[in-house]
Amino acid sequence: MSASKKDIVEFLVQEFPKSRCRVDEVGGGSATVSHEVGPDDLRPGATVFGPLLMTVADVALYVAILGEIGIVPLAVTTNLTINFLRRPSAGKRIIGRCRLLKVGKRQAVGEVLLYSEGDPQAVSHAVGTYSIPPTR
């Protein structure tokens, strides 16, 4: 019941046409997505607006889960916790690497490490839960 990267990209383009998140990799209970950082995404301190990081974390989780369970549009986030660790670079893409910790019948849980492109130290860590609708 898994979905390929191509399936997921097509689904996201159709359902989230304005999304600026790009799917880089998906499979094996993992996913990597990335997001450009433009001048409007910055906040005081020459760093990235926090909600952009939350968006990348949420999308990375969604993509990893769709990769496992197939295109289930109504899978929805029930819980997300994000810790901001370091100041992301103002001029670099944000990369989100998700690793699923559990994929059950009713819910999936995963964690996401977020990076400024090219920097090995994570800027944020997120962990989140998706609810999977019972009739699929």
Residues that bind its own copies (CB under 8 A): 15-18, 40, 43-45, 47, 49-51, 54-55, 58, 73-74, 76-87, 101-102, 106-107, 109, 111, 122, 125, 127, 129, 131
Comparing CB distances to its own copies, the nearer of 27 and 50 is: 50
CB of 107 to its own copies, least distance (A): 7
User: Which of these, 126, 123, 136, lies nearest to 60 by C-alpha position?
Assistant: 126
Whole-number Å distance between alpha carbons of 76 and 121:
29
Comparing CB distances to its own copies, the nearer of 15 and 27 is: 15
CB of 79 to its own copies, least distance (A): 5
CA distances from 94 to 50, 56, 136 (A): 11, 8, 33
CB of 100 to its own copies, least distance (A): 10
